[in-house]
Chain A
Amino acid sequence: MANIKELKKKIKSTKGTFKITKAMKLVSAAKLNKAQVRILGLRPYSLELEDTVRTVSALAQDYSNEYFLPKDNNKAIVLVISSDKGLCGGYNSSLAKTIRRFTNEHKDEDLKFYWIGKKVRDLIARDVNSGKTFTFAKQDPSYEEVRKIADELGSMFVAGEVGKIYVAYNSFISAIAFDSKVRQLLPMQVSTLDKELIKTKYPYDFKYEPGAEQILDTLVPEVYLTTVYTCVLDAIASEHGSRMNAMENASKNSKEVIKKLSLKMNKMRQARITTELIEVVSGAESLNG
């Protein structure tokens, strides 16, 4: 019976947890809102840009850019975008799982992993060939910082040090859903099937000003950069979404625990009072008798 006190202590600590998870949920919701605006603003731009490059590169005869050419090199870099903080549900573990599967499927390539965010690195760095970790001045990377990373990886590819560049990240679908995926950044690919499709879709060619090649020359690096930036923003938005959900569930659970514990404690207290009453009454009875 002595554990009424213990129960009280437990309830108090659960209440503390509840407060924290609730606050974290609110913070994540606010951050998610911001991140969502950013990613949803960027998406139309990045989609259009990508679409244009695909179309033009399919239509323009024999165009090739160093970003398109496959390299004769077995080495590949995987840029993993995860979070620095935990407590965000399956966000990091699901990404780690996807990467593990990817590594198994690409055993013939010499993969090297570069990291943004340390959580997934901590999970799988032992099993893979781990490279550099990128960090940012603030929590969320700025466009300039992302550009630096993209340039660094891009120049390695152009120089032929690596043959492929992948990015692994969680793509933002909605506040409650994300999709872990690994995507090939370089070399950019337009499959022959796509090319044929585009050619039938646009039976006419564009009028280019200045020239198709010049336009592509400026566009292709821009597409590459925008893609990296989109991935980063996607990852940030899904991190906050995922954390918001995790915290929402945690709040719900702790509420339930508090309810259960309170009920248990109240029952115990009632039982004790009843026993005490019986004792008093029977004591009085025996005196009277």
Chain B
Amino acid sequence: MAAFKLNLFTPKGVIVKDLECNDITIPTVRGEINILPEHTHILTELGTGILTAKTNTGVRHFSVTAGLCRVLKDTVTILSFTSEKVQDIDLERAKAAKAKAMENLSGKISLTDVDLIKNRRKLERAEMRLRLANLK
């Protein structure tokens, strides 16, 4: 099966470049999509979640948050606001972030709409990181 390439860029740096993959699962705003070789050209908004890439040497996981995904010919380009490799995840920090967000959302303090959304997103990200850490 013909392989295709994955590029994952963030403003903080290049996470992976030209990684040869056979199969990628990408979280988008409308649910997960699966990309196989010879996929049609698509352009979609990323959601928060775990990106799974199957390569010849094994499976790799990355976290992604809001951003953009472009599938063009044999290249998948992901532009994410933040992204981490599994080994870079700070488990303690994610746990702390989850606890903090949960507490903020528990309703003890009143939140503005903006803060509510912010905290929900924080919770989502923390949970995603914890899930990702378990995939190690």
A interface list, Cβ under 8 A from B: 37-38, 41-42, 44-46, 48-49, 52, 56, 143, 202, 204-210, 212, 214-215, 218-219, 226, 229
Contact = CB atoms under 8 A, between A and B. Distances in A.
Nearest to A205: B41
B6 interface: no
B11 A52 contact: no
Given A207-B41, A209-B42, 6 more contacts: A41-B10, A48-B79, A204-B41, A209-B30, A210-B45, A226-B11
B28 A52 contact: no
B28 A207 contact: no
B77 interface: yes
A215 B14 contact: no
Nearest to B12: A41
**On chain B, which size bracket covers the interface?**
20 to 34
Contacts of B9: 44-45, 48
Prevailing SS type, chain B contact patch: strand
A206 B7 CA distance: 18
A215 to B, nearest CB: 6
A45 B79 contact: yes
A148 to B, nearest CB: 16
Closest 4 CB pairs of A and B: A41-B13, A209-B44, A45-B9, A206-B43
A45 B10 contact: yes
A206 B42 CA distance: 5
Given A207-B40, A210-B30, A143 B11 contact: yes
Contacts of A202: 41
B70 interface: yes
Interface of B: 7, 9-14, 17, 28-30, 33, 40-45, 68, 70, 77, 79
Contacts of B30: 209-210
A154 B43 CA distance: 26
Contacts of B7: 44, 48
Given A37-B13, A229-B11, A49 B43 contact: no
27 contacts: A37-B13, A38-B13, A41-B10, A41-B12, A42-B11, A42-B12, A42-B13, A45-B9, A45-B79, A46-B11, A48-B9, A49-B79, A52-B68, A52-B77, A56-B43, A206-B41, A206-B42, A206-B43, A207-B40, A207-B42, A208-B42, A208-B43, A208-B44, A209-B28, A209-B29, A209-B33, A210-B45
A44 B17 CA distance: 10
A215 B44 contact: yes
